[in-house]
Structure 1
């Protein structure tokens, strides 16, 4: 069972002061967070791609490369790369470069994008949302499979027997499919035999178990060894010494950020009642003391089949010291408990 962190590098106004941290400062803070995550034994750190004022990371690979030379073991992944509006050749070259700098620790988490600001920015039509992703994923997989590529498609100029460099240390360079939980996306991942990441940010995590089963069935149908395919989840959360302290620290910025997104997407306001329901044992918020968070992660492994867990922190802007402490507790207290209990459970199966 792998445990890690994901972040969108938020730069929203501070809930108490209204001050907005600069993009430059937040980017430097995230590099420090990745360095700490490596030091406390976490397995993976993911950085999201966004192209809007309240998120500082439009180029996750640059942030990850900055952290690569300051870390030794932790895996470094996008979370996600919006492949539909990107050039797969550049994506492959950049992450192959990251793989070299990190000596084989780079990963790509490819998604269609739950935020759409990159489409008009790079000149793509949202009507082609699905077709763009399918075509560009096809090219990305061909690039990692062969040094020289011949390829043609609808949305990008053809490539005729050209080499793409550098080649990564890992062969193949890991590519995960990120999904918000649609059956089509998990089937696509399964048929291609690619690892799957599920965004579990609402409802009951156990409701995602049928999607994991569907993914495994699709993989088996395509001739892949479904038992060897990892499944990850990404969920909002926060760890503190005490569960109520964790809730009090995490709620204000979460409420602010989720309310803003809610207005954009037609959701209702994010209330404390909704927050408290989500941090219950059956909810999708992983907020609490180390024992509580560990128990919820173990439940994901046992009942959903998740083999890698990303704690997404912060949601909105939180004090950097609080985020660092949450990362420290996740690595030193939560992760060891999860690994021990999962190992005992697997040995008994």
Structure 2
């Protein structure tokens, strides 16, 4: 089982001045965090794409290319690339370039996008939300398979015997599909034989079990080799030596970010009761000490059959020192304990 972390580059909010942390400062911190993740032996790092004032990263592949030059072993992936509002040709070229810099450690994780700011920004119609993703995924997979492309769709100009360069290491990029729990998205990923990652960031994780079972059945029905099946989850979390003390100081930052997002989506204000429920064994938050996190990862692995787990660690922009400590503990205590337990089962 692979264990890693993901981030969005959340920017700290300064209430006194009503301003966010400078993006330059946060990006420099991000690179330090990725370097540490590599040094402590984590398997994967993912960075997401947003186009809002509270996030620092709009182009995951640029961050990954920078990270590739200062890391040696860790896999680097987007988390996610909003494929619907970008061009698959350019996306492949950018990630293939990062892959060459990393000597074959770069992946792509694509999704339809739970944040939709990129659609008007790049001139796409939200009414085409589903069609854009399906078509662009088809093109991206075709490019990943063949260097010379003949392709025609509805939303972009056709490609007539076009060569897409440069090529990734070994002429292949691993492409994951990220979903929030839509059955149609799960079925599409399974039938295509693509690795699946489900974002479980609220509610009761056990409610997602049917989606994993659906994926497994559709994957098998499509004739794919079950030995190649890869399943992952991405959940919010932070780790400290003292789990309760960490939770106490993290709650205000976490709640503020959830309320900023919730204001746009009509959510009720985030409460301590929600936070506490999320931290329970049956909840979706991985916030606590190393032993608590180990137990919860093992619980989810058994429930879903996971081959990868990503701790999404910077929601609400916890202090850089807390993120560095969380990465250290995830790599030196949590991951070894999880892998030892799984090796003994």
Q: Same fold (TM over 0.5)?
A: yes
Matches within 5 A, 1:164-203: 164-203=164-203
Please give the alpha-carbon distance, in whole angstroms, between the structure 1 residues aligned to 2:12 and 2:91: 28
Cα distance, 1:14 vs. partner? 4.1
TM-score using structure 2 length: 0.98
Is this contact kept in 1: 2:3–2:310, CA < 8 A? yes
1:231-283: CA deviation from partner (whole Å, max 9, x where unpaired) = 11000001000110221232111100001111111111101111001100110
* RMSD (Å) for aligned C-alpha atoms: 1.2
2:266 is matched with: 266
Task: Return 5+ residue gaps in structure 1 as ranges.
Answer: none
Aligned residue for 1:291, secondary structure, equals helix
Is this contact kept in 1: 2:12–2:318, CA < 8 A? no
CA spacing shift, 1:209–1:170, aligned 2, 3 Å = farther
1:102 is matched with: 102
Is this contact kept in 2: 1:233–1:309, CA < 8 A? yes
1:324 is matched with: 324
Please give the alpha-carbon distance, in whole angstroms, between the structure 1 residues aligned to 2:294 and 2:182: 27
1:124 is matched with: 124
1:155-199: CA deviation from partner (whole Å, max 9, x where unpaired) = 010001111111101442100000001111110000000000100
1:90-141: CA deviation from partner (whole Å, max 9, x where unpaired) = 0000000011000000000000000000000000000000000000000000
Please give the alpha-carbon distance, in whole angstroms, between the structure 1 residues aligned to 2:191 and 2:175: 14
Matches within 5 A, 1:1-349: 1-14=1-14, 20-345=20-345
Task: Return 5+ residue gaps in structure 2 as ranges.
Answer: none
Please give the alpha-carbon distance, in whole angstroms, between the structure 2 residues aligned to 1:120 and 1:17: 29
Select between 241-250 and 69-78 the one with higher mean Cα deviation.
Answer: 241-250
1:276-315: CA deviation from partner (whole Å, max 9, x where unpaired) = 0110011000011001001100111111112111101111
Cα distance, 1:221 vs. partner? 1.2
Please give the alpha-carbon distance, in whole angstroms, between the structure 2 residues aligned to 1:14 and 1:72: 35
TM superposition outliers: structure 1 runs of 4+ over 2 Å? 14-20
Aligned residue for 1:153, secondary structure, equals coil
TM-score using structure 1 length: 0.97
Give the count of matched residue pairs.
Answer: 345
Is this contact kept in 1: 2:2–2:44, CA < 8 A? yes
CA spacing shift, 1:223–1:16, aligned 2, 3 Å = farther
Aligned residue for 1:175, secondary structure, equals strand
